[in-house]
Amino acid sequence: MIFEILSIVIGLYLFMIMYFNYKYPEIRWDWDTIQTDKVEFPEKFIWGTATAAHQVEGNCINNWSEFEKGSKPTGEPNIKDNQQSGLACDHWNRYLEDISLIKKLGVSYYRFSVEWSKIQPEQDVFDEDVLRHYLKMIDALLENNITPVLTLHHFTHPIWFDRLGAFEREENIQIFISFCERVFKEYSSKVSYWCTINEPGVVATQGYFSGMFPPGKKDSQLSAVVLKNLLDAHVKVYHALKKMEHGPQVKIGLVKNINQFEPWRRWHLLDWVISNRVNHFYNDSTIEFLRTGIYKIRIPGLAWIYHKNVNAMGSIDFFGLNYYSHNHLKMQFSPKEPFIMKYPDGDILTDMPYTIYGEGLYRAIESVSVLNVPIIITENGVADARDDRRKLYIKRYLYAVSKALEDGFDIHGYFYWSLMDNFEWAFGYDMKFGLYEVDYMSQKRTLRDGSQAFIDIVKG
């Protein structure tokens, strides 16, 4: 009897392992045999580069500027080495110079964000000078034949909004909608591509689960609530803007970072369980919400939530896909740290805690294609201070995009992150993502050698 029960248990275990391995394969291409120089893109393919206001403008008075001054309960600074954004790249004053750098790349689109805390320094106050400043920048882009792509929320918001509870509270969504409507009214006659919220999953997990982002909380259930509210905020903003003048003519999308979480040991059921649940929270819940209108998180002991919003279906004109890499998770029996990240031998590490994995971009494109809307890769790039991996990264990832196009996926564009080095959030200034290197003392921008691979493909 015991032998029979044991046989059944082992059989079920093996069946589940086989099932997971079949359903969720970790694709690996033989890069030694792939000719990454042989890539093709449509004639009207969108080529661009991207930045975010707080990271390049500097001197923002928002939730992030406050977070940079603080420290964790352990006493460690919130930002690596106690760095603060400060002047950043002074893009606020140097945008004309930076527009000329965009032109030199050969791209004709620029994705940027407007800083909410500058536009609306107090709840009932809009700064007309700031609104005019962004209008001048938009006009300068258009005069240089560069199409502006505007992001309304890229991780930052005013301190007064934070003190109201920000996106922890559903009733605050209307405040965000009002801000978006005002910005849309100002610029919608000149801006044809709009991104509502950048990476809501990152805001929710890093701000409310890991504590790496403001407000630095660690509450898994609250993290799920914040993600729900951010997704609802996108839906409500989308429909509100579509009703405004120019709304029917513009393209409005949500920007979502896809990061696949793989089991470290593909024969180990617990590694499969933890990676499956993290994927469920971080990736699948958002895609399913946009596809079906149902937001559902089911992680016993951590987060449990069900929400339905029928207006979510059809609330994107395009899907903004941010992709960098994947991570391997190994389960361990620790209530404080239930899993750790591991990196396979032989994989090429970037300066960020992940590896070069071009195949993952193809997988991400495939996974979001279920939404049946055009895909725009709104961010993809590498942190590489030595500039000895950038060329390889660009060639492999753009090969993946080219292959996805060849295989029939509806991809309309690609934006490299980032135009120039900038303040990389909790990592400070240590991460060098820029096509252009920035000397923060002199504010001199210098094109990196590795960036030439991007220029060559764009100018094809």
The predicted pLDDT at position 2 comes to 76
For the segment 332-347, the average pLDDT, to the nearest whole number, is: 86
Whether residue 6 has pLDDT greater than 90: no
Exposed e or buried b for every residue in 425-449, given b needs 16+ CB within 10 A? bbbbbebbbbbbbbebeeeebebbe
Residues paired with residue 197 on neighbouring β-strands, in sequence order: 153
Nearest 5°: phi and psi at 231? -65, -40
The predicted pLDDT at position 99 comes to 98
For the segment 325-349, the average pLDDT, to the nearest whole number, is: 90
Please tell me the pTM assigned to this model: 0.97
Alpha helix locations (H) across 76-153?
91-105, 116-119, 128-143
Using pLDDT thresholds of 50, 70 and 90, give the confidence band for residue 9.
low
**CA 400 to CA 375: how far, in whole Å?**
14
Q: Can you give the length of the chain in residues?
A: 460
**CA 254 to CA 152: how far, in whole Å?**
10
Exposed e or buried b for every residue in 81-120, given b needs 16+ CB within 10 A? eebbbeebbbbbebbeebbebbeebebbbbbbbbbbbbbb
Using pLDDT thresholds of 50, 70 and 90, give the confidence band for residue 60.
confident
Closest C-alpha to 215, from 163, 139, 153: 163
Cβ–Cβ under 8 Å, residues 396 and 31 = yes
**Predicted confidence (pLDDT) per residue in 265-307, tens digit:** 999 999 999 999 999 999 999 999 999 999 999 998 889 999 9
**Predicted confidence (pLDDT) per residue in 432-444, tens digit:** 999 999 999 999 9
Domain total for the chain? 1
The predicted pLDDT at position 333 comes to 81
429 versus 338: the higher-pLDDT residue is 429
The predicted pLDDT at position 56 comes to 98
**CA 460 to CA 47: how far, in whole Å?**
12
Residue by residue, DSSP assigns 176-197 as HHHHHHHHHHHHTTT--EEEEE
Give the DSSP H or E segment for 277: helix 269-279
The predicted pLDDT at position 301 comes to 86
**CA 415 to CA 378: how far, in whole Å?**
5
For the segment 42-55, the average pLDDT, to the nearest whole number, is: 98
User: What percent of the chain is predicted at pLDDT more than 90?
Assistant: 90
Give the DSSP H or E segment for 13: helix 2-23
Cβ–Cβ under 8 Å, residues 253 and 195 = yes
Whether residue 17 has pLDDT greater than 90: no
Report the chain's mean pLDDT, rounded to a whole number. Answer: 96
For the segment 2-26, the average pLDDT, to the nearest whole number, is: 82
The predicted pLDDT at position 97 comes to 98
What tokens were used for 367?
Answer: 């996974």
Using pLDDT thresholds of 50, 70 and 90, give the confidence band for residue 58.
confident
Domain that holds residue 186: 2-459
**Predicted confidence (pLDDT) per residue in 147-159, tens digit:** 999 999 999 999 9
What tokens were used for 348?
Answer: 């090429």
What tokens were used for 116?
Answer: 């909410």
**CA 53 to CA 137: how far, in whole Å?**
13
Nearest 5°: phi and psi at 352? -80, 165
Exposed e or buried b for every residue in 198-226, given b needs 16+ CB within 10 A? bbbbbbbbbbbbebbbbbbbebbbbbbbb
Kindly report the CATH number assigned to the domain that includes residue 281: 3.20.20.80
Exposed e or buried b for every residue in 137-176, given b needs 16+ CB within 10 A? bbebbeeeebbbbbbbbbbbbbebbbeeebbbeeebbebb
Nearest 5°: phi and psi at 90? 55, 35
Whether residue 91 has pLDDT greater than 80: yes
Conformational region of residue 216, where left means phi above 0, alpha means psi within -120 to 50, and beta covers everything else: left
Cβ–Cβ under 8 Å, residues 356 and 348 = yes
Whether residue 164 has pLDDT greater than 90: yes
The predicted pLDDT at position 225 comes to 98
- SS3 string, 294-360, reads EEEEEECCCEEEEEECHHHCCCCCEEEEEECCCEEEEECCCCCCCEEEECCCCCCECCCCCECCHHH
What tokens were used for 23?
Answer: 């359903």
